[in-house]
Structure 1
Amino acid sequence: MANLPETAAGGYAELCVTSNFTFLTGASHPEELVLRAAELGLQAIAITDRNSLAGVVRAHVALSELRRQRAEQAGAPERPEETPLHPMTGRPHPPVRSHRRIDPSSRQDMGRQDMGRQNMQAPESGEPQKPAGPALPKLIPGSRLVLQECPVEFAALPVDKPAYARLSRLLTIGKRRAVKGACTLYLSDLMEWGRGLILIALPPDLLTAKPEMALEVKAVLNRLVQQFPGHVYTGAAPGYDGQDQARFDALYRLSLATAAPLVAVGDVLMHRAGRRALADVLTCLREGCTIATLGRRALPNGERRLKDGASMARLFARYPAALRRTLEIAARCGFSLDDLSYQYPEEVSGGEDAQGRLERLVRAGLESRERFPDGADADTLAKVEKELALIRLKAYAPYFLTVHDIVQFARSRNILCQGRGSAANSIVCYALGITEVKPGTTLMVFERFISAERSEPPDIDVDFEHERREEVIQHIYERYGRHRTGLTATVIHFRSRAAIREVGKAMGLSQDVLAAIAGQSWGWSNGPPDPARLREIGLDPSERRLAMTLELIAEIIGFPRHLSQHVGGFVITRDRLDELCPIENAAMEGRTVIEWDKDDIDALGILKVDVLALGMLTCLRKGFDLLVQHERQALTLASVPEEDAAVYDMLCRADAIGVFQVESRAQMNFLPRMRPRVFYDLVIEVAIVRPGPIQGGMVHPYINRRRGREKVEYPSEALRTVLGKTLGVPLFQEQALQIAVVAAGFTPGEADRLRRSLATFKRMGTIHTFRDKFISGMLGNGYSPEFAERCFSQIEGFGEYGFPESHAASFARLVYASAWMKCHHPAIFACALLNAQPMGFYAPAQIVRDAREHGVEVRPVSVNHSAWDNTLERRSDGALALRLGFRQIKGLREADCQAIAASRGNGYPDVETIWQRTRLKGDVLQRLAEGDALSCLGLTRRAALWQVKALGQARTLPLFSGMDGEAIAEPEVALPSMSLGEEVVEDYAALRLSLRAHPMELLRPALPGLTAHDQLTRPDLRQVSVAGLVITRQRPGTASGVIFLTLEDETGVSNVVVWPKVYEAFRRAVIGGRLLRVTGRLQREGQVVHLIAGQIEDLSHILPGLGQFGGEIDATGGTPAAPGGADLRGGKPGARHPREQAKLLFRSRDFH
Structure 2
Amino acid sequence: MYLNCHTYYSLRYGTFSEVELLQLAQDNQVTQLVLTDINNTSAALNFVRKAPEYAIKPILGVDFRNGADQCYVGIAKNNEGYQELNDFLSEHLHQQKDLPSIAPLFKHAYVVYPFEKVVLTDKKSFAEHEFIGVSIADLRRLPFSRLLALNDKLVVQQPVTFRNKRDFNAHRLLRAIESNTLLSKLCKTEEADEEEKMFPIQNLAMAFSEYTFILENTERLLNSCSIQFDFSAGRKPQNLKTYNATKEEDEVMLERLCQEGLPYRYPDGGDAVMERLKKELELIKTMGFVSYFLINWNIVSYAREQKFFYVGRGSGANSVVAYLLRITDVDPMELDLYFERFINLYRANPPDFDIDFSWKDREEITQYIFDTFPNVALLGTYVTFKDKGVVRELGKVFGLPKSEIDFLSEGRYRFEDLDDVSRLVIKYGRLIQGMPNYLSIHAGGILISEKPLHWFSATHLPPKGFATVQFDMVIAEDVGLFKFDILAQRGLAKIKETMEILERDRPDEFSKVDIHNIIAFKKDPKINNLIKTAQCMGCFYVESPAMRMLLKKLEVDNYLGLVAASSIIRPGVAKSGMMREYILRHRNEGRAEEKAHPVMLDIMRDTYGVMVYQEDVIKVAHHFADLTLGEADVLRRGMSGKFRSRDEFQEVKEKFIENCRKKGEEDRIIFEVWEQIASFAGYAFAKGHSASYAVESYQSLFLRAYYPLEYMVAVLNNGGGFYSSEFYVHEARMLGATVHAPCINKSLAVNRIYGKQLYLGFMYLRDLEGRVMERILKERLCHGAFASLEDFLDRIIISIEQLSILIRIDAFRFTGVNKHELLWNAHMFLNKSVKIDHPKLFPPKHQDFKIPTLHTTDLEMAFTQWELLGFCLCSPFELLVKPPKNKSGSKDLKRYLNRHIDIYGYLVTVKNTKTHSGKQMHFATLVDQQGEVFDTVLFPPVAAQYRFRGKGIYRFYGKVVSEFDFLSIEVIKMEKQDYIQDPRYADMKTSTKVFQEKKNAVKAQSQKGETKKSPIN
TM over 0.5: yes
The CA distance in 2 between the partners of 1:548 and 1:168, in whole Å, is 38
Q: Is 2:65 the partner of 1:146?
A: yes
SS at match of 2:592: coil
Alpha-carbon shift at residue 385 of structure 1 (Å): 0.9
Deviates more, 1:1017-1026 or 1:159-168: 1017-1026
Q: Distance in 1 between matches of 2:184 and 2:827?
A: 50
Equivalent residue number for residue 175 of structure 2? 283
Residue number among 241, 245, 257 corresponding to 1:361 in the alignment: 257
SS at match of 2:488: strand
Shift of 1:765: 8.3
**Matched AA of 1:439:** P
Q: Give yes or no for the alignment of 1:826 onto 2:745.
A: no
1:235 deviation in Å?
Answer: 2.1
What is the Cα deviation at residue 882 of structure 1? 2.9
Secondary structure of residue in 2 paired with 1:334: coil
- For residues 853 and 645 of structure 2, the distance between their equivalents in structure 1, rounded to whole angstroms, comes to 68
Find the counterpart in structure 2 of residue 1108 from structure 1.
Answer: 981
1:214-264 deviation line (CA, Å, top 9, x unaligned): 341x51xx45x22xx1x333223355xxxx6524556x7525348421314
Q: Which stretch of structure 1 is more off in the superposition, 753-762 or 488-497?
A: 753-762
Query: Which residues of 2 match residues 503-582 of structure 1 at below 5 A?
Result: 503-518=394-409, 520=410, 529=411, 533-534=412-413, 541-582=417-458
CA shift, 1:648, in A, is: 3.1
Residues 486-520 of structure 1: CA deviation (Å, up to 9, x unaligned)? 211122222233223212222222212333444x4
Query: CA 1:922–1:696 in structure 2 vs 1: closer, same or farther (change >3 Å)?
Result: same
Q: Return the letter of the residue paired with 2:629.
A: P
How far off its partner does 1:706 sit? 0.5
Query: What residue number does 2:621 align with?
Result: 740
Once the 2 structures are TM-superposed, how far is the Cα of residue 579 of structure 1 from its aligned partner? 3.5
Where 1:760 maps in the other structure, the secondary structure is: coil
Matches within 5 A, 1:265-344: 265=158, 267-294=159-186, 296=188, 303-313=195-205, 315-316=207-208, 318-319=210-211, 322-323=214-215, 325-338=217-230, 342-344=238-240
SS of equivalent to 2:744: coil
Q: Which runs of 5+ in 1 are unaligned?
A: 1-12, 68-134, 207-212, 521-528, 875-879, 1120-1152
Residues in 2 aligned to 1:835 and 1:732: alpha-carbon distance in whole angstroms? 34
Q: CA deviation at 1:826?
A: 1.8
Match of 1:19 in 2: 7
- Determine if contact 1:491/1:561 at 8 Å carries over to the other structure: yes
Relative distance call for 1:859 and 1:773 in structure 2 (3 A) is: same
Structure 1 position 421, deviation (Å): 0.3
Q: Distance in 1 between matches of 2:192 and 2:7?
A: 19
Q: Which amino acid aligns with 1:933?
A: A
Work out the CA distance in 2 between the residues paired with 1:47 and 1:1038: 46
Matches within 5 A, 1:894-909: 895-896=774-775, 898-903=777-782, 905=784, 907-909=785-787
Contact 2:4-2:34 at 8 Å conserved across structures: yes
Whichever residue aligns with residue 228 of structure 2, its letter is S
Residues 805-824 of structure 1 aligned to structure 2 (within 5 Å):
805-824=687-706
Question: What is aligned with 1:407?
Answer: 300
Of the three residues 660, 663, 666, the one matched with 1:778 is 660
Match of 1:755 among 636, 639, 643: 636
Matched, 1:246 2:140: yes
Between the aligned partners of 2:324 and 2:571, the Cα distance in structure 1 is 33
Identify if the C-alpha distance between structure 1 residues 330 and 1028 changes in structure 2 by more than 3 Å, giving closer, same or farther: farther
Partner of 1:855: 736
Name the SS of the counterpart of 1:734 in structure 2.
helix
| Alignment match, 1:1032 | 909
Change (3 A) 1:915 1:412: farther
Write out aligned runs for 1:376-455 (5 A): 376-455=269-348
Q: Distance in 1 between matches of 2:680 and 2:380?
A: 24
Could you say what secondary structure the match of 2:327 adopts?
coil
CA distance in 2, matches of 1:323, 1:1061: 72
For the pair 1:347 / 2:227, whether they are aligned, the reply is no
- Say if 2:493 is the partner of 1:618: yes
Q: Aligned in 2, Cα 1:682/1:409: closer, same or farther, shift over 3 Å?
A: same
Deviation at 1:379, TM superposition (A): 0.6
| Structure 1 residue 490 corresponds to structure 2 residue 490 | no
Deviation digits for residues 1098-1130 of structure 1 (CA, Å, limit 9, x no counterpart): x6xx98xx57247883489999xxxxxxxxxxx
Alignment of 1:953-972 (within 5 A): 953=831, 968-972=847-851
**Alpha-carbon offset, residue 660 of structure 1:** 1.4
When the two structures are superposed, what TM-score results if normalisation uses the length of structure 1? 0.77
Match of 1:87 in 2: none
Match of 1:435, SS state, is: coil
Which residue number corresponds to residue 1005 of structure 2?
Answer: none
Q: CA deviation at 1:18?
A: 1.9
Distance 1:1038 1:895, change over 3 A: farther
Partner deviation per Cα, 1:753-787 (whole Å, 9 max, x = no partner): 22222223498587666444333433433444444
Partner of 2:107: 195
User: Which residue identity is paired with 1:256?
Assistant: A
Aligned residue for 1:262, secondary structure, equals strand
Quote how far apart the aligned CAs of 1:414 are. Answer: 0.8
Contact kept in structure 2, 1:659 and 1:818, CA below 8 Å = yes
Change (3 A) 1:349 1:279: closer
> SS where residue 337 of structure 1 aligns?
coil
State percent identity of aligned pairs.
24
Q: Measure how far apart 1:169 and its partner are.
A: 1.2
| Distance change >3 Å, CA 1003–CA 609, structure 1 → 2 | same
Match of 1:1005 among 882, 899, 903: 882
**Helix, strand or coil: the match of 2:442?**
strand
- Read off the aligned partner of 2:872 and give its amino acid letter: S
Size of the aligned set, in residue pairs, is 972
| Residue among 576, 579, 596 paired with 1:696 | 576
Shift in alpha-carbon separation, 1:441–1:1056, aligned structure 2, 3 A: farther
Q: For 2:226 and 2:803, locate their aligned partners in 1 and report how far apart those are by CA, in whole Å.
A: 68
For residue 570 of structure 1, report the CA deviation from its aligned partner. 1.4
Q: Which residue of 2 aligns with 1:97?
A: none
Deviations 1:334-356 (A, max 9, x none): 01333998350532289981111
Superposed CA deviations along residues 881-927 of structure 1, whole A, max 9, x for unmatched, are 4332333333453643531540463x322222223334466665444
Pair 1:1118–1:451, CA change in 2 (3 A): same
Aligned to 1:209: none
Letter matched to residue 778 of structure 2: A
Residues in 1 aligned to 2:433 and 2:945: alpha-carbon distance in whole angstroms: 26
Q: TM-score, normalised by structure 2?
A: 0.87
* Gap change, CA 1:948 and 1:602, over 3 Å in 2: farther
Q: How many Å apart are 1:417 and its aligned residue?
A: 0.7
Q: Name which of 153, 172, 196 aligns with 1:260.
A: 153
- With 598-607 and 272-281 compared, the bigger mean Cα shift is at 272-281
Report the CA distance between 1:975 and its aligned residue. 5.5
Separation in 1, partners of 2:134, 2:352? 47
Query: For the residues of structure 2 that align with 1:1075 and 1:336, how far apart are their CA atoms?
Result: 66
Q: State the shift of 1:1061 in Å.
A: 7.1
- For 1:786-797, what aligned pairs fall within 5 Å after superposition? 786-797=668-679
Q: Does 1:214 align with 2:119?
A: yes
Distance 1:812 1:152, change over 3 A: closer
Secondary structure of 1:712 counterpart: helix
Q: Counterparts of 2:513 and 2:226 in 1: how far apart (Å)?
A: 62
Describe the SS at the equivalent of 1:803: coil
Asked if the contact 2:177–2:393 (Cα under 8 Å) also holds between the matched residues in 1, the reply is: yes
The CA distance in 2 between the partners of 1:1077 and 1:507, in whole Å, is: 47
Separation in structure 1 between the aligned mates of residue 213 and residue 904 of structure 2, nearest angstrom: 78
- Of 459, 464, 478, 2:352 maps to 459
Give the distance between the partners of 1:277 and 1:171, measured in 2 at CA. Answer: 29
Alpha-carbon contact 2:311-2:329 (below 8 Å) kept: yes
Deviations 1:913-967 (A, max 9, x none): 223334466665444335432233335555555544444426677967999xx85
CA deviation profile, 1:172-203 (whole Å, cap 9, x unmatched) = 2112222xxxx533256x324x2221222224
Q: Does the residue aligned with 1:602 lie in a helix, a strand or coil?
A: helix
Letter aligned with residue 131 of structure 2? Y
